[in-house]
Amino acid sequence: MPAVRGKLELDAPLGKLTWFGVGGAADMLFNPADAGDLAAFLQSIPHDMPVMTLGVGSNLLIRDGGIAGAVIRPGKKFAAIYCAGDDIIAGAGAPDIAVAGAARDAGLAGFEFLRGIPGTVGGAVRMNAGAYGREISDILCSAEVMDRAGNRRTLGPEDLQFSYRHSVLSDDMICISARFRGIPGDKNDIARKMQQIADEREMSQPLRTRTGGSTFKNPDGIKAWQLIDGAGCRGLARGGARVSEKHCNFLINDGMATAQDIEELGEEIRRRVMNNSGVELEWEIRIVGRKAGCDD
């Protein structure tokens, strides 16, 4: 066991840390005390040990066989948010909603869409998260990351090569913090826009259920939910997993689902959509880990 100042667990259950509430254990789960502690940990484990980062577990499906190697969970120690002129600097563990709130309080517009993204800054940067016509690449100035050897680097948008729900940030590059730029605006207008987003999400999405957020990326020119609905998948079930009747681009754990149920349901949706429309849906939810009974 490496000597660390943060919390380190072996064979740590991960399901309770994800929105779906499913998935196996991590060989090793580490909550670092700070960036220095994280660097020391990375330098002390075998260089070929796989490493991945876990935020609040939204937009993530961990398979039932768990995660090989080390899972890094930057938590409250990485959640600081502060304002510097027109910029907001936020730690990787800061909730996107909290960043939107900090920008509102500072009178900075352009962050309102983050009110509709239920994740953390680190995950948002990695996947170029977006909602309501905006995405992280629209506001990001730079991201501080740590490589597998514990070295810190600052990357700009051009380095991250953002595209729709994607960046080139690899699993072994861990986001530490990010700097975002806003535009001075009226606090009341910003607050109204944020409330509109919150109200719309409440009306259109199954927020009170165990779900992972939007399941599939929107293909060019059409919404994924329209393709899913058109293929007759609204309410479709597999084991304890079900397609939401409220918004059919959301999969739901009815309480007894396994990760395998959810993944197989998603693949059945992809098959039916392809047969019905000729469009191949691409997962937006990230699927990681080993299937049950597998060692790799």
Mean pLDDT, all residues of the chain: 95
In a domain, 212, yes or no: yes
CA distance 259 to 261: 5
Give Cα 257 to chain centroid, integer Å: 21
Q: Decide if pLDDT at 293 tops 90.
A: no
Residues 130 and 54 in one domain: no
pLDDT tens sequence across 186-219: 999 999 999 999 999 999 999 889 999 999 999 9
Domain end, chosen from 21, 42, 76, is at: 76
Do residues 212 and 277 share a domain?
yes
User: How far is Cα 274 from Cα 284, in angstroms, rounded to an integer?
Assistant: 17
Task: State yes or no: is 214 an active-site residue.
Answer: yes
In a domain, 72, yes or no: yes
Q: What is the mean pLDDT of residues 270-284?
A: 97
Are both 92 and 64 inside the same structural domain?
no
User: What is the Cα–Cα distance from 197 to 114, expressed in whole angstroms?
Assistant: 9
Domain range enclosing 65: 7-76
Q: Is 165 a catalytic residue?
A: yes
Predicted confidence (pLDDT) per residue in 213-239, tens digit:
999 999 999 999 999 999 999 999 999
Q: Give the C-alpha separation, 128 to 83, whole Å.
A: 22
Is the same domain home to 230 and 168? no
Helix axes 96-105, 187-204, angle to 10 degrees: 150
For residues 105 and 197, membership in a common domain is answered with yes
User: Torsions phi, psi of 176, nearest 5?
Assistant: -100, -45
Residues 93 and 138 in one domain: yes
- Rounded to 5 degrees, what angle do the CA atoms 44, 65, 175 make? 45
Query: Domain end: 153, 168, 203, which one?
Result: 203
β-pairing, 251-253 with 210-211? antiparallel
- Domain-located, residue 2: no
The percentage of the chain sitting over the pLDDT mark of 70, rounded to a whole number, equals 99
The rounded percent of the chain whose pLDDT value lies above 90 is: 95
Residue 252: CB atoms within 10 A of its CB come to: 22
Q: Is the confidence at residue 295, as pLDDT, over 80? A: no
Give the model confidence (pLDDT) of 66-79 as tens digits. 999 999 999 889 99
Q: What is the pLDDT of residues 133-189, one digit of tens each?
A: 999 999 999 999 999 999 999 999 999 999 999 999 988 899 999 999 999 999 999
1 lies in some domain? no
Give the CA radius of gyration of the chain: 19
Task: Assess whether 182 and 255 both reside in one domain.
Answer: no
The CATH number of the domain holding residue 82 is 3.30.465.10
Query: Is there a domain that residue 253 lies in?
Result: yes
Q: List CB contacts of 240: < 8 A, sequence separation 6 or more.
A: 253, 254, 255, 256, 257, 258, 261
How many whole angstroms separate alpha carbon 74 and alpha carbon 83? 21
Boundary residue ending a domain (203, 226, 242): 203
Mean pLDDT across 56-63:
95
CA–CA distances in Å: residue 169 to residues 16, 22, 53, 199? 26, 25, 12, 33
84/145 same-domain check = yes
Which residues are bridge partners to 154 per DSSP? 144
Q: How many CB atoms lie within 10 A of CB 110?
A: 20
Q: Verify that 143 and 121 share a domain, yes or no.
A: yes
Query: pLDDT at position 171, please?
Result: 81
Q: Would residue 163 show up in a list of annotated catalytic residues for this protein?
A: no
Tokens 């998935």 appear where?
23
pLDDT at 1 over 80: no
Is residue 2 scored above 90 in pLDDT?
Answer: no
Q: Which of 112, 214, 238, 272 is catalytic?
A: 214
Domain check: are 100 and 173 in the same one? yes
CATH of the domain at 254: 3.90.78.10
Residues 6+ apart with CB under 8 A from 66: 14, 23, 24, 25, 26, 27, 289, 290
On whether the CB atoms of residues 140 and 130 are closer than 8 A, the answer is no
> pLDDT by residue (tens digit) across 106-126?
999 999 999 999 999 999 999
User: What's residue 215's pLDDT?
Assistant: 97
Q: Are residues 155 and 167 in the same domain?
A: yes
pTM over 0.95: no
34-48 confidence digits (pLDDT tens): 999 999 999 999 999
Q: Is residue 293 part of a domain?
A: no
Number of domains present in the structure of the chain: 3
pLDDT score for 296: 58
84 and 162 housed in the same domain: yes
Catalytic residue among 112, 135, 144, 284: 284
Residue tagged active-site, from 165, 210, 270, 272: 165
pLDDT at 29 over 90: yes
Q: Which two tokens stand for residue 164?
A: 């729709």
